[in-house]
Structure 1
């Protein structure tokens, strides 16, 4: 399931907004307070209907207060979030100001969720109930609190097994949730150790665990042999010959590593039957994808995520000009695909077609597309706040030159 359109009506500070989403990547930029996180929250609420309908999990919904648009100290009659997939499936979620007949008469007709539920019955719930094969779509939302890893200090209360639908537990809550991935990794390692003992070979591995290990080492080439250690309980990795608890790593490592472990473990839990669980179809939202990352990492993080999770639709916010310029490199790479390329650095770039990407500059009242259709790249003319520092520098340089000339 990939999303194609998002529409908000009277949602928080957005009286009306509609945008087309990129099949692989949607980039949201804008000043603090412009509403970037509001858009991610809106998508999470829309997707929350899916989780609520599936067995054993629940999704987020509207808050009791604060989600209905207010103007001149007066609440709108309703708020509505509408999502449409690239396959044409559409549904909406509605919250009324109150249950009066007068308010009901002020609400335009909507789509409801009947089509969505029928789709989930046909593709997930009925095959699951019949013991037939099905692919479970994965959804995840990572907010700015993801840097605070929830590392368990003991094994007390650890579940002994995991069901496929557990992959979606708390998946749309924006706060950190690394603990569930830690527990899953611990249980799967125990299962793998039993298999190795049974076959009397350390070469026997679990494909689900291998998928998570691949994801870690794909994004962190300097880390290896991720595993759970006991006494004390910790998630350990090897870096430059030293064994480290991931809590000892820098904020940048922890922020991105926690996300990668959580997402890859959810994919492996949701679809363990796939040859490559990392290729599960997914929608993933990341608020401030550049959070705590060095500029060098900012230049490669989006490309690395897209390459590691090849069938995931990422919807991310950022303040980083490095993300913008790196994305333009990926877009430009697609334009020379098939040509002779002598540079290893260029060949290693993931090609991204402009048709797969959407980018917007978010303001309190609107969303302006940053894609320049004539060149298939991001148009940075709207990103004037990135150029203010350079403008001031140029002005001061001109003053200095004029002074010297006089």
Structure 2
């Protein structure tokens, strides 16, 4: 399942806002308070209806206060988030009313409701799971800025001893950090793997679900290897440059991104463990400030790494970073010259993933509008996206002109 359109009526700062989503990537940029995170929150609320309908999972909902748009010091009668899928006829809504009066109820226009979504989930997920038929579990996840603080467990107390495929969605749309859940799952699966190795008397026996998570980690972090859980003390250990490190010893950039990759890969492996490649299942993933704590060199490759590691995931990202924009334009330009790149060409260009502009959407949040920034003719991001960076450059240019006017004298 992928999303095609998100519509917000009377939601927070907007009276109405429609955002068409890229099938692979949607990038949101803007100043603080411009609504980037609000869009992610709204989409998460809409996706919460999926979790609400599935067994054993709890979906998020609107907050009790602050969600309904206010104008002229008056709160509107309702707020509505509507999500439209790329699947024909699949559209649903979440609605919050200002109060329970009949007048307020009458002020809420008729919407698509939730029937089409529930019917779809019944047919494609719940019924097959009950009848032991093959099905693909939809994966959704939301990573907020609090992911920068990992909740690393200090003991194995209260670790689950069993998992179902629906557990892949537990807490998935809560924007808070949840590294502990992925850690516990990894520990559980390693024990299962060790049991199988002992029975087979071979260390060559591995679990495909664990291999998927290991592959995701080493794909994004080529300098790390052999991710594993160690005890005494309990820790996630990785090998780097011939030495073993606890994840807590790594930099904030490593911890923030590694925690996200491990959690997402674990959820995808848990959701669809029997797929040849669980990382290739469809998913909708939102990441607030994807550049959080990342060095500029990492910012230039993080989007490409995410898209390559999770090849059928639809990402909705926010960022302040010009390096993310630069990198995205490189991927888009690579698509333009796809047929011109030879196998013996420059490796840096040859190895860069091509990204079709038709799969991408980019918006600059200005005022109470989402301004499209992908140029239709060039297939690249417009320079308006870097307006505040350009303003800094203009100030530098003016100071340089003053210096030149005075012959370079201070």
Query: Is TM more than 0.5 here?
Result: yes
Deviation at 1:405, TM superposition (A): 7.8
Compute the TM-score of the two structures, normalised by the length of structure 2.
0.98
Secondary structure of 1:338's aligned partner: helix
| CA distance, structure 2, for counterparts of residue 340 and residue 129 of structure 1 | 49
Kept in 2: contact 1:140–1:172 (CA 8 A): yes
Kept in 2: contact 1:14–1:364 (CA 8 A): no
Kept in 1: contact 2:178–2:263 (CA 8 A): yes
Secondary structure of 1:300's aligned partner: helix
Moved more, 382-391 or 6-15: 382-391
Aligned residue number for residue 324 of structure 2: 323
Kept in 1: contact 2:29–2:385 (CA 8 A): no
The answer to whether structure 1 residue 374 and structure 2 residue 377 are counterparts is yes
Structure 1 segment 330-341 matched on structure 2, within 5 A: 330-341=331-342
Aligned residue number for residue 183 of structure 2: 182
Deviation at 1:183, TM superposition (A): 0.4
Structure 1 segment 41-80 matched on structure 2, within 5 A: 41-80=41-80
Kept in 2: contact 1:10–1:78 (CA 8 A): yes
Deviation at 1:382, TM superposition (A): 4.4
The answer to whether structure 1 residue 389 and structure 2 residue 392 are counterparts is yes
Q: Which runs of 5+ in 2 are unaligned?
A: none
Runs of 4 or more above 6 Å deviation: none
Secondary structure of 1:195's aligned partner: helix
Aligned residue number for residue 277 of structure 1: 278
Aligned residue number for residue 210 of structure 2: 209
Moved more, 309-318 or 70-79: 70-79
Deviation at 1:62, TM superposition (A): 0.6
Aligned residue number for residue 140 of structure 1: 141
Structure 1 segment 199-348 matched on structure 2, within 5 A: 199-341=200-342, 342-348=345-351
What's the C-alpha RMSD, in Å, of the aligned pairs?
Answer: 1.0
Moved more, 367-376 or 96-105: 96-105
Q: Size of the alignment, in residue pairs?
A: 406
Kept in 2: contact 1:13–1:364 (CA 8 A): no
Secondary structure of 2:9's aligned partner: strand
Kindly provide the CA deviation profile for residues 253-279 of structure 1, in whole angstroms up to 9, marking residues without a partner as x. Answer: 000000000000000000001000000
Kept in 2: contact 1:26–1:358 (CA 8 A): yes
Kindly provide the CA deviation profile for residues 324-368 of structure 1, in whole angstroms up to 9, marking residues without a partner as x. Answer: 010000000011112233110001111000100000001231000
Aligned residue number for residue 151 of structure 2: 150
Q: Which runs of 5+ in 1 are unaligned?
A: none
Compute the TM-score of the two structures, normalised by the length of structure 1.
0.99
| CA distance, structure 2, for counterparts of residue 312 and residue 196 of structure 1 | 32
Aligned residue number for residue 84 of structure 2: 84
Kindly provide the CA deviation profile for residues 54-91 of structure 1, in whole angstroms up to 9, marking residues without a partner as x. Answer: 00001100111111111222110000000001113100
Aligned residue number for residue 7 of structure 2: 7
Deviation at 1:384, TM superposition (A): 1.2
Secondary structure of 1:87's aligned partner: coil
Secondary structure of 2:407's aligned partner: helix
